[in-house]
């Protein structure tokens, strides 16, 4: 089928007037010989957004290579078919649907609820925009067969996505293989049929009762009830234009923490994300307004969620940093929270384990060893971390933390915020700060330093070319430090499922891991060193960063 024919067929079934107008204009321009319009149509219809273990994620717009009501309807109908196929005889699967504050999230969620109900499933729609962790909680709390969260998390403003969870034996975790391929096959069959207008729909879906959100709030408040040191504790919070604050504020009240000074310009959900280029606390400039609020209010620390509140950032005063504030790395926060979990688990949970993704700091293994706990390194993503046996805590360096696995089997920036508040308040009782906790960690476990080289591209094929070049001619040194060995996870290493990951070990014990991002058009290189002191670790990391950038630039050509 030609691109124009595919575009016309898509237009005929599109129920959305916005994307219909968008596509109609492109078709007309292409028919009139406009090369830019033809190229745009080619990009929109040359392929489909692939459904995988991360679900769907992409730019909003008309076409099979965009997020829109046609694509989401195909996904919902296909997923419904998969769930019906998996259900025991006579069983009616329950699916719970949540959504955040991004553009069209509510529309995609209602479309999904109607299609699930039309397919004969019990569909339960969350009552309003809520954090992703509430949806993950709801899957377990309701005993649902599955859950869908409409979100693109911290992606750029024009993106949206469709994240899938499974209940039952999966305990509300994100999907993994082979479920992803089986669901994708069902979706493809719906797409091949060619008209979403004939799919059965029903408005007989349920809207979840407020008691569901109350249950999440009560469970999360127990993560760390406020100690005495929380009294009068001044801090700043930003929701990054997302949905985190309403839920967090209610938890703070139940747990006994003082409310923060909020970043007013970022506290309400706004899918345009007007004050940030990328709504991700890791991105340069994203925390600037929070730093301003902290300086003005005399705050002791800052907590930030990303837009769907499944990630957490922490910042502390630092005289050596520009503006006097420094955001902790995800590894620093993860090691502190892992240390907290280990102290509790060692006494109460024999056989407990700590887990992190293979690109996260090896410092967590040192914590586990010191406390007699098991340790597991997994592929990136909480779909893997959450499945570690005996898990009491898991994290990945991209600001994701799983602190309450009995409640949520996914990263949860809200419960992580409560855990961090408890840790900070307890230290505060002793006259200590977050910086003091970091120094104590180094004294007990060693000086670990981590960094990241992130290359964002417009053309994702560049990432493939870089990975191919690194495999064809792997580096033998990083600066003055020789490479000891290389693990190529495409071939399967240490029991990991095959993945597009290169892990390079250097003779001084440093480590470099290179992989494509699973959610954004980026190539990422993760750097880890261990030094004799903090300054030694920082110097080693700086040298490794410079060498890594040189090697990637050469591979890019």
Residues 160-176 have pLDDT tens digits of 999 999 999 999 999 99
Poorest-confidence range of 138-147, 426-435, 470-479, 487-496?
487-496
- Per-residue pLDDT, averaged over 350-357, amounts to 92
Cis ω on the peptide bond leading into residue 400 (within 30° of 0)? no
Main-chain phi, psi angles of 544, to 5 degrees: -70, -35
Quote the CA–CA distance of 526 and 273 in Å, as a whole number. Answer: 28
State residue 26's pLDDT score: 96
State residue 194's pLDDT score: 86
pLDDT digit string, tens, across residues 233-252: 999 999 999 999 999 999 99
Q: What 3-state class would DSSP assign to 29?
A: helix
- Per-residue pLDDT, averaged over 50-55, amounts to 86
Poorest-confidence range of 32-46, 92-106, 514-528?
514-528
State residue 349's pLDDT score: 76
State residue 421's pLDDT score: 98
Place 427 in a pLDDT band, splitting at 50, 70 and 90: very high
Q: Residue 528 pLDDT > 90, yes or no?
A: yes
> Distances in Å between the alpha carbon of 435 and those of 156, 165, 319, 398, 512?
32, 37, 12, 20, 27
**Percentage with pLDDT > 90 across the chain:** 91
For residue 253, the surrounding DSSP H or E stretch is: helix 244-255
Q: What 3-state class would DSSP assign to 446?
A: coil
DSSP-assigned beta bridge partners for residue 329: none
State residue 498's pLDDT score: 84
Q: Residue 499 pLDDT > 90, yes or no?
A: no
State residue 521's pLDDT score: 85
Q: Residue 350 pLDDT > 90, yes or no?
A: no
pLDDT digit string, tens, across residues 401-413: 999 999 999 999 9
Mean pLDDT score of the chain, rounded to an integer? 95
For tokens 């190539």, the residue is 523
State residue 424's pLDDT score: 98
- Full set of structural domains in the chain with CATH: 47-208 (3.40.120.10), 214-321 (3.40.120.10), 331-431 (3.40.120.10), 447-556 (3.30.310.50)
State residue 187's pLDDT score: 97
Place 497 in a pLDDT band, splitting at 50, 70 and 90: confident
Q: Residue 393 pLDDT > 90, yes or no?
A: yes
Place 493 in a pLDDT band, splitting at 50, 70 and 90: confident
State residue 123's pLDDT score: 98
pLDDT digit string, tens, across residues 285-335: 999 999 999 999 999 999 999 999 999 999 999 999 988 999 999 999 999
pTM: 0.93
User: What is the DSSP secondary-structure string of 333-373?
Assistant: HHHHHHHHHHHHHHHH-TT-EEEEETTS-THHHHHHHHTT-
State residue 90's pLDDT score: 87
Quote the CA–CA distance of 39 and 26 in Å, as a whole number. Answer: 10
Residue among 43, 106, 39, 98 nearest 69 (CA): 106
Give how far the C-alpha of residue 162 lies from the chain's centroid of Cα atoms, to the nearest Å.
12
Report the catalytic residues: 153
In 457-543, where do the E strands start and end?
477-478, 481-488, 502-506, 511-516, 522-531
Q: Residue 346 pLDDT > 80, yes or no?
A: no
Q: How many residues are there in the chain?
A: 557
pLDDT digit string, tens, across residues 213-228: 999 999 999 999 999 9
Place 53 in a pLDDT band, splitting at 50, 70 and 90: confident
With a CB cutoff of 8 Å and minimum separation 6, the contacts of 351 are: 374, 390
State residue 335's pLDDT score: 98
- Per-residue pLDDT, averaged over 450-472, amounts to 92
């Amino acid at each position: 089928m030609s691109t124009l024919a595919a575009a016309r067929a898509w237009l005929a079934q599109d129920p959305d007037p916005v994307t219909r107008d968008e596509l109609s204009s492109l078709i007309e321009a292409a028919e009139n010989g406009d090369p830019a319009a033809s190229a745009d149509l080619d990009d929109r219809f040359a392929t489909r957004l692939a459904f995988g273990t991360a679900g769907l994620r992409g730019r909003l717009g008309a076409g099979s290579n965009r997020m829109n009501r046609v694509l989401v309807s195909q996904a919902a109908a296909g997923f419904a078919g998969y769930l019906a196929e998996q259900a025991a005889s006579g069983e009616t699967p329950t699916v719970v649907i949540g959504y955040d504050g991004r553009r069209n999230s509510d529309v995609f969620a209602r479309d999904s609820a109607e299609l699930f109900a039309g397919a004969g499933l019990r569909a339960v729609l969350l009552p309003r925009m809520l954090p992703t962790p509430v949806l993950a909680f709801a899957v377990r709390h309701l005993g649902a067969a599955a859950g869908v969260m409409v979100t693109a998390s911290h992606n750029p403003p024009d993106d949206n996505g469709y994240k899938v969870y499974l209940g039952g034996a999966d305990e509300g975790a994100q999907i993994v293989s082979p479920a992803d391929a089986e669901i994708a096959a069902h979706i493809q069959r719906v797409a091949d049929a060619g008209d979403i207008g004939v799919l059965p729909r029903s408005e007989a879906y349920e809207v979840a009762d407020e008691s569901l959100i109350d249950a999440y709030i009560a469970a999360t408040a127990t993560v760390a009830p406020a100690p005495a040191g929380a009294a009068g504790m001044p801090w700043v919070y930003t929701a990054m234009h997302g949905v985190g604050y309403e839920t967090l504020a209610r938890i703070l009240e139940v747990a006994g923490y003082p409310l923060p000074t909020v970043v007013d310009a970022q506290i309400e959900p706004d899918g345009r994300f007007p004050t940030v280029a990328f709504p991700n606390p890791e991105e340069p400039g994203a925390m600037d307004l929070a730093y301003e609020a902290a300086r003005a209010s005399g705050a002791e620390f800052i907590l930030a969620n990303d837009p769907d509140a499944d990630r957490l950032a922490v910042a502390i005063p630092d005289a050596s940093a520009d503006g006097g504030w420094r955001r902790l790395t995800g590894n620093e926060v993860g090691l502190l929270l892992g240390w907290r979990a280990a102290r509790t688990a060692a006494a109460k949970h024999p056989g407990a384990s700590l887990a992190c993704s293979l690109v996260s700091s090896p410092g967590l293994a040192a914590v586990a060893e010191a406390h007699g706990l098991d340790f597991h390194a997994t592929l990136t993503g909480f779909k893997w971390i959450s499945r570690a046996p005996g898990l009491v805590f898991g994290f990945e360096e991209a600001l994701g933390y799983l602190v309450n696995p009995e409640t949520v089997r996914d990263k949860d920036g809200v419960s992580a915020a409560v855990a961090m508040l408890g840790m900070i308040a307890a230290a505060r009782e002793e006259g200590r700060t977050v910086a003091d906790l970091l120094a104590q960690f180094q004294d007990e476990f060693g000086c670990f330093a981590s960094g990241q080289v992130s290359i964002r591209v417009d053309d994702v094929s560049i990432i493939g070319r870089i990975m191919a070049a690194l495999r064809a001619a792997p580096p033998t040194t990083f600066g003055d430090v020789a490479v000891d060995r290389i693990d190529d996870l495409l071939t399967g290493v240490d029991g990991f499922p095959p993945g597009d990951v290169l892990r390079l070990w250097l003779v001084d014990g440093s480590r470099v891991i290179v992989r494509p991002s699973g959610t954004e058009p980026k190539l990422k290189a993760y750097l880890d060193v261990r030094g004799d002191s903090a300054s030694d670790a920082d110097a080693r990391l700086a040298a490794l960063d410079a060498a890594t950038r040189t090697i990637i630039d050469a591979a890019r050509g």
